[in-house]
A = this chain, B = another copy of it.
């Protein structure tokens, strides 16, 4: 059973809207090696896990899988912020929907020139469950052979490929909104690489000098370096409210990435950061601009707090 807090797992920096960066980031969300895939893969591996004596391995996968849901939330929100308001940003007029075409340009003209027109046409300047080339996410991405060594080996390869793609994404854009999330995920992907590599160590493999993959200087990216200094690549969170996770039996000792750090599974979860709700976009009819409708929404929202508190207790 899952719970939610109204917080993001990491801070998203403010910067200008950037629909090209937003589209590139879609690979990290809905791509074959993106967060929707890791989330679903680990969820299925946890559900179908075999071998009661191997519980620490299940707990390791379950913990990372739970984190991936928060990564979906993080990267999805990042994409939405990069798209939000982008028609205005690119110098196009911001005519309200009622006056299309005045001044020679149209409110959503940008949509026909940017990477994925669906961001403006099917969605309302928000994230989509597709990759950076517009292909919808597919269930056939999920790998769960049931063989423990193979599942762990696949997961190691999956996290490493995710990290490789995010390093390439870092090189594609210098938008700070995009890079703050990309950098965070580079480091967390390495933590997950470490987790699966360590699990394979307990099963007989010696990685020696092979890790991390890609074996490069991602740590020279300044935002990445800052997070590495904080040791985020060597932490495993359980996200387990019942504190029953035995993942720490595996995630301990020296990092297989050979960076001299100790693996640490002692923390339940990182501190979150507040979430906000995006503004209305009239040109998208989102959430729907009718004054009468708004009055209804506000009437609902302005219900007596007394009633609410009676219902929910302290908030």
Name A27-70 residues within 8 Å CB distance of B.
27, 30-32, 36, 40, 43-44, 46-58, 62-63, 66, 69-70
Q: Which residue of B lies closest to A206 (CB)?
A: B206
A164 at the interface (CB under 8 A from B): yes
Report if A242-B126 is in contact (Cβ < 8 Å); known contacts: A112-B173, A293-B149. no
Chain B residue numbers with a CB within 8 Å of A112 are 20-21, 23-24, 115, 172-173
A89 at the interface (CB under 8 A from B): no
* B288 engages A30 (CB within 8 Å): no
0/1 string, A132-158, CB within 8 A of B gives 1: 111111111010111111100110110
Name A86-115 residues within 8 Å CB distance of B.
97-101, 104-109, 111-113, 115
A279 at the interface (CB under 8 A from B): yes
User: How far is it, in angstroms, between the C-alpha of A132 and the C-alpha of B311 when the chains are bound?
Assistant: 41
* Total copies of this chain within the assembly: 6
20 additional A-B residue pairs with CB within 8 Å, beyond A24-B117, A98-B217, A104-B174: A1-B7, A1-B9, A4-B66, A4-B241, A23-B112, A32-B140, A111-B168, A124-B146, A125-B146, A129-B140, A134-B135, A135-B135, A146-B281, A149-B210, A150-B213, A150-B214, A214-B288, A215-B289, A238-B312, A249-B303
Chain B residue numbers with a CB within 8 Å of A265 are 311-312
Q: Ordered nearest first, which 10 A-B pairs have the shortest CB separation?
A: A124-B146, A48-B126, A129-B139, A146-B286, A137-B139, A136-B139, A148-B287, A206-B206, A214-B285, A215-B290
User: How far is it, in angstroms, between the C-alpha of A53 and the C-alpha of B277 when the chains are bound?
Assistant: 9
